[in-house]
Amino acid sequence: MTIQPVKGTRDFYPREMAVHNWIVDGWKKISLRNGFEEYDGPIFEYLKMYQVKSGDEIVEQLFSLTDRGGRDLALRPEMTPTLARMVNQQINSLPKPIKWFSVPRLFRAERPQKGRLREFFQWNIDIIGVDDVLADAEVIFTTIDYLRQVGLTSTDIKVKISSREFLAGFLKSIGIPEEKLGDIYVLLDKSAKLPPGVFEELLREQVPDKTISGKILDFMVEQSIEQVRDLTAPNESTESALENLGNVFNYLESMGVGDFCIFNPGIVRGLAYYTGIVFEVHDAVGELRAICGGGRYDNLLKDFGGPSIPATGMGMGDCVLEILLREKGLLEKQLPAGSIDYFVAYVDESYKNQAIRITMELRSKGCSANFSYKAAKLNKQLKQASDQNARKCIIIGQEIESNQLAVKDMTSGEQKLVNLDEFNA
């Protein structure tokens, strides 16, 4: 009987693990240099926590279980609810602003497809306690900071930015009632993934009035803040939202990443908790799912029983990112080759214990070192050293005096004899 991995999961063999570690190490490095602190939480939470945030329908999208005490739990599908719970627990003692990041393993019970698996890793960065959209701009900058570091340019990717606050104001101004906004958000969020005819048909099911649905269609294709301003009757809410949008773009220009960023009113983000600036990063060609997405969620901590406090953040999964880096030829050439400092070779079993002792001494001194488990021809052991990208090979025996070692530089091929008691790693 052959047991296969569960559909939608991945086996990380050493080479795949090296890729994963390289991506995660990059996420952590960028987070730290942008002033974020790392945190984590449990891999499962109470199911009701996700129901509070997303409604009862979320249950079908989760891996849920009932524990021995009859408690309904779920494997975490995202990190933001855990963040909100943790911050609320210590809200009065945490210094503000809170700038945290995490790299959790997440789970979603959905149909696996390209760039979307049931189990994945995600980079999350959040800033809590800053009302100024400068925090939104900093989240976007930090996102671009990582993507630039791995070799992606403004011709490879685009950060598409919009405003849920402005969208809400626009929809209300054309006659969409407050209670319908959530359903409209979900549909608009799917617009880029649906054929135009299908999207228009679904929109007219939600909004039967052709004049109103036509205005929504016009809104979704505009390409500048000025154009969407012309579509909207001026009011305090929309004017404030447009001012925030303009400020975000000004900040991003000052940060030196304006060429990566464009306004796109079609960016909606389907989750109901977004309240202001929203954004997604897409490959420029548009063949892949969003590389990441995020935005402002000023009400979420309050929804979880905490105080009303502003917050903004971003999540980037590893699946789409890896696909894009491979397609651009940016992964393999940047992936560090596995290597060791020393390989200890011995050509006779009588030298085995000495080889073991030297290897362990090297390791105790902080060097990476390996040895052959059995004596073999020197050429074979040198090939082992080469296969492991050893910097140097120590050779014991074979016409070498018992108190000496031969130290071979594997790059230059230079070899020299060293007295055993004088050898220093």
Over residues 248-266, the pLDDT tens digits come to 999 999 999 999 999 998 8
Over 70: is that where the pLDDT of 53 sits? no
Over 70: is that where the pLDDT of 425 sits? no
Q: For 297-320, what is the mean pLDDT?
A: 93
Stretch among 220-229, 280-289, 382-391 having the lowest mean pLDDT:
220-229
Residue 205 confidence (pLDDT) = 86
Name the band, by pLDDT with cuts 50, 70 and 90, for residue 364. very high
Over 90: is that where the pLDDT of 278 sits? yes
Name the band, by pLDDT with cuts 50, 70 and 90, for residue 12. very high
Name the band, by pLDDT with cuts 50, 70 and 90, for residue 355. very high
Residue 51 confidence (pLDDT) = 84
Residue 118 confidence (pLDDT) = 95
Over 90: is that where the pLDDT of 153 sits? yes
Domains and CATH numbers, the chain: 14-327 (3.30.930.10), 340-422 (3.40.50.800)
Over residues 385-421, the pLDDT tens digits come to 999 999 999 998 866 666 788 899 999 999 988 887 7
Q: For 3-23, what is the mean pLDDT?
A: 94
Quote the mean pLDDT of the chain: 90
Percent of the chain at pLDDT > 90 equals 61
Q: For 345-360, what is the mean pLDDT?
A: 91
C-alpha distances out from residue 298 to 29, 114, 330, Å: 27, 32, 37
Over 80: is that where the pLDDT of 58 sits? no
Q: For 167-186, what is the mean pLDDT?
A: 85
Q: For 260-289, what is the mean pLDDT?
A: 88
C-alpha–C-alpha distance, residues 379 and 259, integer Å: 54
Q: For 1-10, what is the mean pLDDT?
A: 92
Percent of the chain at pLDDT > 70 equals 96
Question: Cβ(75)–Cβ(44) under 8 Å?
Answer: yes
Over 90: is that where the pLDDT of 8 sits? yes
Residue 397 confidence (pLDDT) = 81
- Among residues 66, 67, 90, 63, which one has the least CA distance to residue 78? 63
Q: For 134-158, what is the mean pLDDT?
A: 97
Over residues 107-143, the pLDDT tens digits come to 999 888 888 899 999 999 999 999 999 999 999 999 9
Q: For 71-94, what is the mean pLDDT?
A: 94
Residue 353 confidence (pLDDT) = 92
User: 193 or 381: whose pLDDT is higher?
Assistant: 381
Q: For 69-97, what is the mean pLDDT?
A: 94
Name the band, by pLDDT with cuts 50, 70 and 90, for residue 188. confident
Partners of 119 in the β-ladder:
107
Residue 338 confidence (pLDDT) = 84
Residue 347 confidence (pLDDT) = 84
Name the band, by pLDDT with cuts 50, 70 and 90, for residue 167. confident
Q: For 32-48, what is the mean pLDDT?
A: 97
